[in-house]
Amino acid sequence: MSATDSKTRYGKFLMYVIIVVLVNLAGATLFTRIDLTRNQIYSISDLSREVVSTLSEPLTIEVFFTKDLGAPYNTVELSLRDLLQEYAVYGNRYFNYRFYDVSPDEGDITEEARRNRELAQSYGLFPVQLQIIEADQVKVQKAYMGMVMVHGDLMEKIPFIEGTEGLEYKLTTMIQKMHNKTGVLMNLENNIQVKLFLSSSLEMVAPYVRLTGLSEIPGQIEQVVRELNDKNFGKLEYTLLDPSSQPEARQEADKYNLLNLQWPELQDISGDRIPPGQGVIGMVMEYGDKMADITVLRVVRLPIFGTRYELVDMDTIKESMNESVESLIDINEDIGYLADHGTLELQSFQPMPNQGQNPEAAAEFNNLVSETYSLKEVRLADGDIPPGIRCLIIARPKEEFTDYELFQIDQFLMKGNSLAVFVDAFNEIRPPQQQMQFNQQGPFFVPLNTGLEKLMDHYGINVKKAYVLDKSCFTQRFRSQTGIEEMPIYYAPRIKAANINHELDFMKNINDLLALQFSPLELGQERLQAQGVEALRLFSSSAESWEMSGRINLNPMFIQPPDQEGEYAGSMPLAYLLQGEFGSYFAGKELPVRSGDQDAAADTAEGMPPEQEKSGPDVSGIEETGAFLAKGNAGKIFIVGTSTLLRNDVINWQVEGENRERIFPNQVFLMNVLDILNGREELAIMRAKKQSFNPLDETEVGTRNFIKTFNIGGLTLLVLLAGGLIWFRRNARKKRIQLMFQK
């Protein structure tokens, strides 16, 4: 070998070494990964990445796990490690996590494990008893499977991580809740705009409509903004606009549809004349494409006494502004719950002692929602719906709404907010217990009409006065003299995956639902098209369902499915999500007045100074526009024809998923819906990523037998055929080669 060849060989070898080193360096610095799974279950969502990448204070996650657990818990720790590693990839320098090997107080343990156990107990984490499967045997073992999050002075913990179902959702919501307002405000790209529109022309009529102190409003609002800026890192930017002297301000006020007072020429007893004019008063807070309307002047229409104008006190305005900040930057945690009109109780204790808990209350729903949101009770009889609430839950109202209360709900929706409506078509009236036992008389059902029906019908949907019965239903097991028997409860439809709309991202992890006494829904297609509202079916009954109307009897012993297939009504829609710009029910109608406030109006009149009462001009000709929204901003309505989804005895219905994890489909569905209605679609989609409950599609007996036979013998036959084909081709090729050499 020549010296030149030797140098060439060593040169190539050195070049290859350099290339390998450079490739490894590039791989270490230019990190990327691709998740090819259907729902990207091995990578965190965009919301999770944003939350951990914007941390402004150290966040430490400390995980306490017992090693070498048997099935079905042997994969939980590994999955949790992978998930936290994924967070760390996208987190900034403030995100940290650490695993501690913790052995329970059994047998010989190391000194390190002892210290870790003491640390876990100092955080309030204690071992739990698990059923472990080892060597085909089931044994009971104590183990630590918990974690804590420490963020500044705050601490959150998960005492028991049973499985990976919804784990990313729990972690992200906990981090977001701890990070919350402080971190989000510090990372805002722009300031939140606070715009007060106040026409100087209003000063002419202010003394005659009891708007004393109107000129002081701008200074008071400015002071409120300064106080709020002390707590919001100076992110509020205040602007005073006068539509009377600024044409661009007038155009902007019209865009926001703010309150505009118009008055004709006025003359008092002394002969002084006030020229006709108009003036705007209102305030908005704006960030990005989101806007919140802050009421400054309240218009009260009262029977007999007419219209009154009242300035809102500064404490109420300050509270409204503070709540609106959270809504604008998407950290709002308040959801309204209608607490009057006979709706479901949020507490489950019976009014009488020794009666236990009320299974028909919504206490479990309250606890579930409170993990992420805060339910604020709303009573329409006490006043308007509080600002800062983006979603109002109306669950089984039984008492009639006044037109003014319906007007409040209507205008709440027109502002671009959402409604979650759980309505019952019938009121179930149960006779006294003794009468039921003596006369063997069951409950009877009376059609329920509260006035909410006409509102929903106007928006394009109607709840029929009927119940859906379904052959695909819950089956009640009971013990009889002949053994264990099953009774189908036809009025408790079991909603299977085939009848659930999986085209919607937030519904992808919903494969089974159960509730009682569903009423079918009907769409008013003409109304929906006229308003430009989209109706999304969420789920429906099976094809083997039928209706019960008229005389209702839900005794399972007396309910039988139709004799012939043609007598079934077919699949009926049970839940819808409507979204779009709804038209107001009160458009083109005389606006309702608040009833029952005559005394308050009398007090108002008595409080007017005598000189104004005698010499003031007639102000009945003043008209206002802008206080009423005839066409709404984009809003959402979720409606389902039953309230039983929220009841304690239904919301905890469960199925078994992978690794024997307990899945609560009703809970997941309700939280997904509330996330969507509250503008947190990312959270709902995140919860839908992992599906540990994937039931098989129902098929005919013949289809099942064919699939079973094919899996047993068909696959073997295909392997034999493939092997025979390969052997035949190789043999043919061998013969061709032999013929070539024989020639």
114-118, 427-431, 670-674: which is most confident: 670-674
Beta bridge partner(s), residue 95: 59
Interval 187-193 mean pLDDT: 87
Tell me the C-alpha distance between 481 and 131, whole Å.
34
pLDDT, position 613: 44
Reply yes or no on whether the pLDDT at 31 is more than 80: no
Higher pLDDT, 212 or 182: 212
Half-sphere exposure for 162 (CA within 13 Å, toward CB): 14
Residue 455 has pLDDT above 90, yes or no: yes
Measured torsion, CA atoms of residues 409, 412, 416, 417, in degrees rounded to the nearest 10 = -80
**Residue 500 predicted with pLDDT over 60:** yes
Closest CA relative to residue 341, chosen from 218, 451, 199, 445: 451
Per-residue pLDDT at 614 = 42
340 CB contacts (<8 Å, ≥6 apart)?
Answer: 379, 380, 381, 399
Rounded to a whole number, what is the distance in angstroms from the first to the last CA of the chain?
A: 43
pLDDT at 612: 42
- Rounded mean pLDDT, 434-456: 78
> What is the distance between the alpha carbons of residues 494 and 356, in angstroms, rounded to a whole number?
29
- Most confident residue range from 282-286, 476-480, 650-654: 282-286
Query: Could you give the CA distance from residue 232 to residue 183 in angstroms, rounded to a whole number?
Result: 10
**Has residue 133 got a pLDDT over 80?**
no
Closest CA to 88 of 112, 68, 63: 63
* pLDDT beyond 50 at 608: no
Cα–Cα distance between 675 and 685 in angstroms, integer? 9
CA distances from 125 to 122, 156, 158, 288 (A): 7, 11, 8, 43
Q: How far is CA 485 from the centre of its chain?
A: 39
For 147-156, 213-222, 385-394, 444-453, which range has the lowest pLDDT when averaged over its residues?
147-156
pLDDT score at 677: 93
SS3 state at 336:
strand
Give the per-residue pLDDT at 352: 44
Q: What number of H helices and E strands is found in the chain?
A: 20, 34
pLDDT at 660: 61
* 109 confidence band (pLDDT: 50, 70, 90): low
- Mean pLDDT (the chain) is 82
How would you label 251-271 residue by residue, b for 16+ Cβ within 10 Å and e otherwise? ebbeebbbbbbebeebeeeee
The pLDDT of residue 327: 76
Average pLDDT over residues 438-461: 86
pLDDT band for position 471 (50/70/90)?
A: very high
C-alpha gyration radius of the chain: 34
Yes or no: say if 471 and 670 are a contact pair by the CB < 8 Å rule: no
- Is it the case that residue 728 has pLDDT exceeding 60? yes
Is residue 619 a contact partner of residue 221, using CB atoms and an 8 Å limit? no
**pLDDT for 681-723, tens place per residue?**
888 877 766 555 556 666 666 777 778 787 888 888 888 888 8
Distance CA 443, CA 433 (A): 10
Q: Rounded to the nearest 5°, which phi and psi values hold at 579? A: -145, 140
| pLDDT beyond 50 at 236 | yes
Say which DSSP state 400 is in: P
State the pLDDT at residue 29. Answer: 67
Confidence at 316, pLDDT banded by 50, 70, 90: confident
pLDDT value at residue 739: 80
Across 81-101, average pLDDT = 89
CA triple 101-66-61, angle to 5 deg: 60
pLDDT tens string 399-426: 999 999 999 999 999 989 999 999 999 9
Q: Are the C-beta atoms of 266 and 624 separated by less than 8 Å?
A: no
Report yes or no: 5 and 45 within 8 Å, Cβ to Cβ: no
Confidence band for 603, pLDDT divided at 50, 70 and 90: very low
Select, from the ranges 119-123, 352-356, 380-384, 574-578, the one with the highest average predicted confidence (pLDDT): 574-578
Could you list the beta-strand ranges (E) of 405-454: 418-422, 426-429, 444-447
**Pairing of β 266-267 and β 137-143:** unpaired
Select from 378, 572, 373 the least CA-distant residue to 472: 572
- The pair of three-digit structure tokens given for residue 115, joined into one six-digit string: 């210290």
Whether 190 shows a pLDDT value over 70: the answer reads yes
Q: Which of 248, 288, 258 is nearest to 196 (CA)?
A: 258
- What pLDDT sits at residue 495? 93
> How would you classify residue 557: left for phi > 0, otherwise alpha for psi between -120 and 50, otherwise beta?
alpha
Judge whether 154 and 57 are in contact, CB under 8 Å.
Answer: no
How high is the pLDDT of residue 456? 96
Asked if 310 and 297 count as a contact pair (C-beta separation under 8 A), the reply is yes
Query: Does residue 395 or residue 43 have the better pLDDT?
Result: 395
Structure tokens at 189: 């790209």
Nearest-angstrom CA–CA distance, 66 and 95: 23
Categorize the per-residue pLDDT at 658 as very low, low, confident or very high, splitting at 50, 70 and 90. Answer: low
Q: What is the mean pLDDT of residues 437-446?
A: 69
455 within 8 A of 409, measured Cβ to Cβ: yes
Provide the pLDDT for residue 610. Answer: 43
Contact (CB, 8 A) for 122 and 116: no
Burial class (CB in 10 A: 0-12, 13-18, 19+), 463: buried
Distance, in Å, from the CA atom of 457 to the CA atom of 284, rounded to the nearest integer, reads: 31
Share of the chain above pLDDT 70, in %: 84
